[in-house]
Amino acid sequence: MSRLIETRGLSVQLGSTEVLSGVDFHIDRGEIVTIVGPNGSGKSTLLRAIIGAVKPSAGQISRAPGLRIGYVPQRLHIDPTLPITVARFLGLPRRVSRARAAAALDKAGVPDLAERQMAGLSGGQFQRVLLARALLDKPDLLLLDEATQGLDQPGSAAFYRQIEEVRREMGCAVLMVSHELHVVMSASDRVVCLNGHVCCHGTPEIVASAPEYRALFGTGTQGALALYRHDHNHTHDAGCGHDHTHANENEAAQ
Amino acid sequence: MMLDSFLIRAALAGLGVALAAAPLGCFVVWRRMAYFGDATAHASILGVALALSFDVSVFAGVLAVSLAMATTVSTLSGRGYAMDTLLGVLAHSALAFGLVAVSFLQGIRIDLMGYLFGDILAVGKPDLAMIWGGAAMVLALVAWRWSALLTATLNPDLAYASGIDPKREQMVLTLALALVVAVAIKVVGVLLIAAMLIVPAAAARPFARTPEVMAVMAAVIGGVSALGGLQAAFVFDTPTGPTIVCVAAVLFAVASLIDLIRRAVA
């Protein structure tokens, strides 16, 4: 299996804080890998280091030669003074033909949006347009940074189904960061639990039962694990991790 | 010859500035850099004073000081300072220091009003060459970097992922801004340069669906303001620089009104 990205001993310093220290990480062709971790654990920083937006303070990142990365950022605020249609947005920074733009929008599940203004899209449509843009170059690796933030639960579930479909169709590897453990873990080949360093990694089941993971996510993981096993009869006890997240999401969506 | 008429020269100077300011002004608006433009423009009066005291060309002095100011501001902005306050401090203190510096220049008769509000009717052939040379450079620079600038404006991480360094694009904007200031000082003066950047771009916004259309429309509105302002100043015997900005402001008001009515009807 060919390595797409490999980091060895990767450390990143932002200001005076060391956000990542000694991270060994890799992703191979066609894999779906999810990074989980509490807020401030350096998940997004790892992704940003991979795209070259932050410089490592130690260690190295090696990329497969000619690697094409499609990046879906966490949140994108477009200033209301900037008029831009979906079609024009897809053509940045390199112009693409109408047909290619239409094909990418189709793959992302929003075929009819080309002439709409970016500012007029709903949260779910916006994320799909970002996905379409990431798919334009037929990437070997799709990077998703909390791509469903601000979507409600059905919306984000639909979004992840779309990702799975895209991977089936295009065969690209997917590296995603998410706090929605139950949704993303079920679709992942491997899970990496991050908290400044790699706490534990492996298949979703191995990670979910690892003591390091339980220490980070507490009792809420039982709910997540139950969902992962597609058991919908579990109870949402107060303080349950994903239940909390869900409430926050609804707020963000309003 | 055509260029022998001071009115023709003034018209061409105004058009040159409007053309250069329009696309750059769009970026100033999109990136919320209005104060940044102010600080750079206000600092240029210090450039005038330095140029006169060291006996170098005003264009060179203004360009150097504007560039220094723009670089300072753009460096600081990356370091998490409270930019709003910092820019307010820098913009006005640069102006104050410039005015004080000018007062030290004894023996040189300096037309301070000319630098503060512009003196478009006094534009000579060498000025005209400089204005159009500078404008052409700004337009070439912005056209060359257009897609990269837009991507970096949308989101820095998106730019990195596409192999664009947003910091480099910021430097391109900084350089273009300093050039526009140096070019525009003769036409609208230090105090109103930022208006030529922002007002036409803001007036163009309601009618544009893409960034490119907005830039072209801003250029048209800027050009109409320059010519209309020149004409109005001639008729009403008012100072030309401020009159140009007044016309641009009226066009902005009309554009906003049309937008408002259109929204109410729709």
In CATH, what number is assigned to the domain containing residue B135? 1.10.3470.10
Q: Which residues of chain A have pLDDT under 50?
A: 221-254
B86 belongs to a structural domain: yes
**Cβ contact B29:B202 at 8 Å:** yes
- DSSP letter for A76, please: -
Task: Please give the average pLDDT of every successive group of 10 residues along chain B, which has 266 residues.
Answer: 83 94 95 86 90 87 91 77 80 89 76 86 91 95 96 92 91 92 89 93 95 97 96 93 95 96 90
**Residues A66-85: pLDDT tens digits?**
899 999 987 788 888 999 99
The confidence score (pLDDT) of residue B84 equals: 78
**Cβ contact A117:A85 at 8 Å:** yes
Which residues in chain A are contacts of B31 at CB distance < 8 A? Answer: 79
Which residues in chain B are contacts of A69 at CB distance < 8 A? Answer: 161
B-interface mutation test, from A84, A86, A94, A127, most B Cβ less than 10 A away: A84
B101 belongs to a structural domain: yes
Contact B208 A92 (CB under 8 A): no
Distance CA A105, CA A110 (A): 5
The tally of domains found in chain B comes to: 1
**Residues A114-136: pLDDT tens digits?**
999 998 898 889 989 999 999 99
B67 belongs to a structural domain: yes
Which residues in chain B are contacts of A85 at CB distance < 8 A? Answer: 209-210
Which residues in chain B are contacts of A52 at CB distance < 8 A? Answer: 160-161
Q: How many beta-carbon contacts under 8 Å exist across A and B? A: 66
The confidence score (pLDDT) of residue A21 equals: 92
Distance CA A185, CA B131 (A): 61
Angle of helix A153-170 relative to helix A241-253, nearest 10 degrees, comes to 100
| Residue-number span of the structural domain to which B151 is assigned | 2-191
Per-residue CA distances from B2 to A45, B15, B18, B87, B234 (Å): 61, 16, 21, 43, 19
Q: Can you read off the two tokens belonging to residue A73? A: 């950022």
Domains along chain A?
Answer: 3-68+138-253 (3.40.50.300), 72-137 (no CATH)
Out of A81, A85, A88, the one facing B205 most closely (by C-beta) is: A81
B36 belongs to a structural domain: yes
- What one-character-per-residue DSSP string does B25-72 give? HHHHHHTT-HHHHHHHHHHHHHHHHHHHHTT--HHHHHHHHHHHHHHH
